[in-house]
Structure 1
Amino acid sequence: MEADLERWLKEQQITEVECVVSDLTGIARGKISPVDKFIAEKGMRLPESILLQTVTGDYVEDDIYYALLNPADIDFICKPDPNAAYLLPWTLEKTALVIHDTYDRSGNPIQLSPRNVLKRVLSLYAEKGWQPIVAPEMEFYLTSRTTDYDMPLKPPIGRSGRPETGRQSFSIEAANEYDPLFEDMYDWCEMQGLEIDTLIHEEGTAQMEINFLHGDPLTVADQVFVFKRTLREAALKHNVIATFMAKPVTNEPGSAMHLHQSVVDTHSGRNVFSTVDGEQSELFLNHIAGLQTYIPSLIPLLAPNVNSFRRFLPDTSAPVNVEWGLENRTCGLRVPESSAQNRRVENRLAGADANVYLAIAASLLSGYIGMIEGIAPNPPVEGRAYERRNLRLPLTLEAATEQMEQCPTMRRYLGDLFIDGYIATRRAEMENFKRVISSWEREFLLLTV
């Protein structure tokens, strides 16, 4: 496979290679290397500390840092995955991005690596002769460019010369306002081999959604990881911003990453969520029960930031529950109508801001445990599930991290190092957030208290 990657780089006349790994937030960290050096070295080294960086670039507290990592701040080893190489069509030099896997000096996968976390979950399925299939739906907003972080975001100017106003769900004309941007996006995705499908206008003002074709979870996660940057680059080319923040605009719907997931038997190719008669199987119900039971303890992987929980405020369109129902979008777990072979469940809880590797890992792991333990789900919901309280989720990042920290099942499957490291980065970000004085405080407290 290394020879295939080297041949591909030469065929594409690549001169530079971006060697990257995903940190816990989902930020691409790595090095830019001349192609000849990349081919000669067949990998790179990066300091362990990058996996305990927060979104602000800060690190976790020293006592936690040194308890989890070598105090000498040693390097880990990164090896390129030949199946995860992508062109970067917007660069001046012919450039490729290659996603790397991470190992310690003994050849063991780094536990804090989000990509390794997903691979660990997929290995559990493989041991049972199962292959998960996923298809994400990525929501995002387009906004005008701004440098004043205290000012609310505004919708961008479209082809008509006017900004969008009001709610335009599924409007073709509203989506057409940004055709030049989306044409570049589709062209670039095709060049990269990203298997995106439909584009729709979502409920919010200048809010859109791109659907990915179903496929292998690791491959799909890599593609979403690359797509988010591709879309942002296409937007910048057209002088607008594309954001995957969970709740970027006050009084507008949040942006989700809906995850459709099913499981097939690796030998027969049959969907194990359906019986031979085409009915829903016990494994299907077990999978849903696992999602209901364990998602509440993994919410920090689906809603990783302080802003993430603004999606879950009252009177929003996001379901704040782990109820399930047939074609019921008010449930956190929706079962779309489909053929027996395509039977699946849609996890509607993850935010668009989540690290895609960790969100898919969390969702698949929850369903897997349900299948292994043979758990039975609650009865499906008919009608509105928004007001359901018996399966309500933690509504703050503080409560969510505490619940994740205290879950022995997650520690058994994901390991203490990952759980403690991930929670430490969330708490460091919360501390950083609390130091910022908001415009709300200045507006309502400055002259009144």
Structure 2
Amino acid sequence: MDEIESWLKERGITEVECLVPDITGIARGKILPARKFIQSQLDQSLRLPENIFTQTVTGEFVTTDVTDEIEPDVILRPDPSTLRLVPWYSEPTAQVICDAHYRSGKPVPFAPRQVLRRVLDHFKRRNWQPIVSPELEFFLVARNLDPDLPLQPPIGRSGRPEVGRQSFGIDAVNEFDPIFEDVYDYCEAQELDVDTLIHEAGAAQVEINFNHGEPMSMADQAFLFKRTVRNVAISHDVYATFMAKPYQNEPGSAMHIHQSLVDARTGENLFSTRAGKNSRLFLSYIAGLQEYSPAAMPLLAPNVNSYRRITPDWSAPINLLWADENRTVGLRIPASGRENRRVENRVPGADANPYLVIAATLACGYLGMSQRLKPSEPTIGSAYGKPDFALPRYLPDALEQLRHSSDLQRILGRDFAHLLVAVKQQEMNAYHEVISAWEREHLLLNV
């Protein structure tokens, strides 16, 4: 606590935002004066109700048998390693990500950070250290005040919206240069380890790559990055969206996860043999992704909109085939040497919770290694149209697969899996109550 107090005083911090990622990845929490925050750590008065983890994206609360019906408080414990400035405020403000514990000291098992920590503990017991690197895609869009109206690309510095395909276009990115200058400045102020920025295929769609690192740290950074981008965009009178498929006629947005495995004692890459070939562990890791990712889809593609992205029309994966340097497969092996051998999971959407995405993909790979599974043969040519290892196409199908995967539930935590299914089922119910524009257009006068 002394470390945090000194950090706050050195920077003249007046307020502290205590953040807790919920199931969806939304930042819940409390904002406290700095002196009150310090006192709350001494008397454990920083609390929130347990049911913040049962909240749906629409703000409803789900009742399950894994949570307490009396809605007790849980105690928030700030993680000092996540303490950062909030650079978009004029007043000196700090933010810190918190873990949730019961009064007994037991961690809340369905808190997303705890789900990831649980998975990482399985690796730790075998002296395996996963290394990950997220790639996050998102769209800049014009302000949209009426959700019944389709989104539109924003106006850039040329005074015109982008309408064509500008993949990797430098000038297309520079249309919004003031926004991205602020993004980089704010990321630097928060010590977010972002790397390159490129223009993606969609109108005003960009991708930010992170440098590789330890999974919890990278999940924290991706969580804070999404919040940062949204705030920067609003300050420039546009929106930034991480929806998986915001436009009907544009590509979707992904959160690709590059992942490798090193020996925690020696730092040696365990995915490569000494001769530079695929190791047995590497092949089993891939096999685990093929075997268990369909059941992990409620974490990799958690929303009804997520499944609109999973279509070959826009170079998104539709199966879990694997191959070297092949962007049509769900599991791509980038060209890399012995020390950097890795697999890129191209299935997750940008709309997913970073903690749960990383937990899910690592859990699938871990199960493959621990069970010594064998993958399919690598794919030759395009994977589109191949039926093998097909992904669920709709959220109800994915939820059903998670319900029946006892192995994946065991790794992630059965209470968490039960709660996630309940939350997503409630969101499905809410979605089905909405009458869409398509129904009004085609059914109103024709049936």
**Is 1:34 aligned with 2:33?**
yes
How many Å apart are 1:3 and its aligned residue? 1.9
Alignment partner, residue 362 of structure 1: 360
Amino acid at match of 1:35: A
Counterpart among 77, 91, 107 of residue 93 in structure 1: 91
Matches within 5 A, 1:335-346: 335-346=333-344
Indicate the SS of the match to 1:166. coil
Indicate the SS of the match to 2:77. strand
Amino acid at match of 2:32: S
Amino acid at match of 1:50: I
Alignment partner, residue 235 of structure 1: 233
Amino acid at match of 1:250: Q
Amino acid at match of 1:91: Y
Matches within 5 A, 1:119-158: 119-158=117-156
Alignment partner, residue 24 of structure 1: 23
Matches within 5 A, 1:268-307: 268-307=266-305
Contact 2:64 2:422 (C-alpha < 8 Å) held by counterparts? no
CA distance in 1: counterparts of 2:315 and 2:351, whole angstroms: 17
Cα gap change, 1:164/1:266 in structure 2, threshold over 3 Å: closer, same or farther?
A: same
How many Å apart are 1:415 and its aligned residue? 2.5
Indicate the SS of the match to 1:68. coil
Indicate the SS of the match to 2:37. helix
TM-score between the two structures when normalised by the length of structure 1? 0.98
Amino acid at match of 2:353: N
Deviations 1:9-63 (A, max 9, x none): 1112111001111110000111000001111211511101110000010122xxx
Matches within 5 A, 1:4-403: 4-42=3-41, 44-60=46-62, 65-403=63-401
Alignment partner, residue 419 of structure 2: 421
Amino acid at match of 1:134: V
Task: Compare 145-154 and 174-183 and name the one that shifted more.
Answer: 145-154
CA distance in 2: counterparts of 1:117 and 1:339, whole angstroms: 32
Aligned pairs, number: 444
Deviations 1:181-240 (A, max 9, x none): 000110000000000000000011111000000000000100010000100111111111
Deviations 1:124-166 (A, max 9, x none): 1111001100000000000000111111111100011111111
How many Å apart are 1:92 and its aligned residue? 2.9
TM-score between the two structures when normalised by the length of structure 2? 0.98
How many Å apart are 1:315 and its aligned residue? 2.1
How many Å apart are 1:85 and its aligned residue? 1.2
CA distance in 1: counterparts of 2:420 and 2:265, whole angstroms: 36
Amino acid at match of 2:48: L
CA distance in 1: counterparts of 2:321 and 2:5, whole angstroms: 49
- Structure 1 residue runs of 5 or longer lacking an equivalent are none
CA distance in 1: counterparts of 2:427 and 2:9, whole angstroms: 42
How many Å apart are 1:414 and its aligned residue? 2.2
How many Å apart are 1:316 and its aligned residue? 3.0
Contact 2:311 2:317 (C-alpha < 8 Å) held by counterparts? no
Indicate the SS of the match to 2:206. strand
How many Å apart are 1:416 and its aligned residue? 2.2
- Structure 2 residue runs of 5 or longer lacking an equivalent are none
Task: Compare 187-196 and 413-422 and name the one that shifted more.
Answer: 413-422
How many Å apart are 1:373 and its aligned residue? 1.0
Amino acid at match of 2:54: L
